[in-house]
Amino acid sequence: MARMFRVLGFWTLVIALMAYAGHMIEMSILFFAQTAVFVLLGYMKFSERTYVLMFWGYMVITFVGFSYWSVFKMGMPV
């Protein structure tokens, strides 16, 4: 399971580099930070249950944040 966090780190790095190349600096900084966290977690020796709980917590925070941003910050189309 720890390898999966390293894989997530790799893909977030790829997304961060593409965002940086596309001049989306804020997005690239966000994904570089996620890369650092995922790689760090990938090298810690947690149990599989802990990794699963951390991943679900990450997903809940991400989906709530994305929903909040897309509804309240982006505005509704007319």
Supply the Cα-derived Rg of the chain in whole angstroms: 15
- Res 34: pLDDT: 95
State how far the Cα of 57 lies from the Cα of 78, in Å rounded to an integer.
Answer: 34
For 55, residues 6+ apart whose C-beta sits below 8 A from its C-beta are 5
The pLDDT, as a whole number, for residue 65 is 92
Q: How many other CB atoms sit within 10 Å of the CB of residue 72?
A: 9
Tell me the pLDDT of the chain (78 aa) as tens digits: 789 999 999 999 999 999 999 999 999 999 999 999 999 999 998 999 999 999 999 999 999 999 998 888 887 776
Q: Please state whether 75 falls in left (phi above 0), alpha (psi between -120 and 50) or beta.
A: left
pLDDT of residue 78: 67
pLDDT of residue 72: 87
pTM score of the predicted model: 0.80
Give the position of tokens 């790829």.
Answer: 14
- The confidence score (pLDDT) of residue 74 equals 83
